[in-house]
A = this chain, B = another copy of it.
């Protein structure tokens, strides 16, 4: 049941809004009005006129409620990353850089423990705020600083994810903090970056895969079923590999 102060996700046709439930507030879309006082006390999925009101999912918090100081990692990519890294309730995963915390929030929902490093103080602070605003990330340790200089035990992590412009200088350290055979992932927007990374994985990592995730959304009118007119064409290339010893 919705209560004052809850985060609510409002849908109106294909539009989506994330708001705090303040009974004095309202939302106007075209000629329709949703008065928030009518939402208080209602079940957590409710249709009021042409509006639908839900408790926001993690995806909606990230996309609509996170302050963005950086390009974020989109849920389509974050979902794949988290499970391709083989995370589960008992996993300990390290990521850097934290950025705005979008991937961090998803990793935290799956893994037992997340360690995240960010060297830009503003990003570090924003990410912490983003997660705490929605009560997320109780199992996250936020570190301010460059992972290269971090004091981290060797063979300690079940997985590492790297989202920095040039990951090559970090490869040896990533290798050393991973458990044997454990996966590392990388997000890189350009083909040139992927090519540069592939040249350097050589002796440290095996089982290399490079891929992109594309999501094609469809219109939901049953008599006119067809893909949406436009789609996200590219976010980033993903590279996955595993720590290896010769």
Residues of A within 8 A of B (CB): 1, 11, 42-47, 52, 54-55, 57-59, 75-76, 78-80, 82-84, 86-89, 106, 109-110, 179-183, 189-192, 194-199, 206-235, 237, 242-246
* Residues of chain B contacted by A229 (CB below 8 angstroms): 232-235
Q: Contact at B233–A217, with CB atoms within 8 Å? A: yes
- Which residue on chain B has the smallest CB distance to residue A58? B86
Q: Contact at A46–B245, with CB atoms within 8 Å? A: yes
* Residues of chain B contacted by A244 (CB below 8 angstroms): 45-47, 52
Q: Quote the shortest CB–CB distance from A111 to chain B (angstroms).
A: 10
Interface class of chain A by DSSP? mixed
Most buried by B among A80, A181, A242: A181
Q: Quote the shortest CB–CB distance from A227 to chain B (angstroms).
A: 4
* Residues of chain B contacted by A75 (CB below 8 angstroms): 83-84
* Residues of chain B contacted by A197 (CB below 8 angstroms): 222
Q: Contact at B195–A218, with CB atoms within 8 Å? A: no
Q: Contact at B217–A215, with CB atoms within 8 Å? A: no
Choose from B54, B198, B225 the contact partner of A181 (Cβ within 8 Å).
Answer: B54
Q: Contact at B234–A227, with CB atoms within 8 Å? A: yes
Q: Contact at B198–A220, with CB atoms within 8 Å? A: yes
* Residues of chain B contacted by A54 (CB below 8 angstroms): 181, 206-207, 242
Q: Contact at B109–A83, with CB atoms within 8 Å? A: yes
Given contacts A83-B75, A192-B195, A231-B230, is CB(A47)–CB(B245) below 8 Å? yes
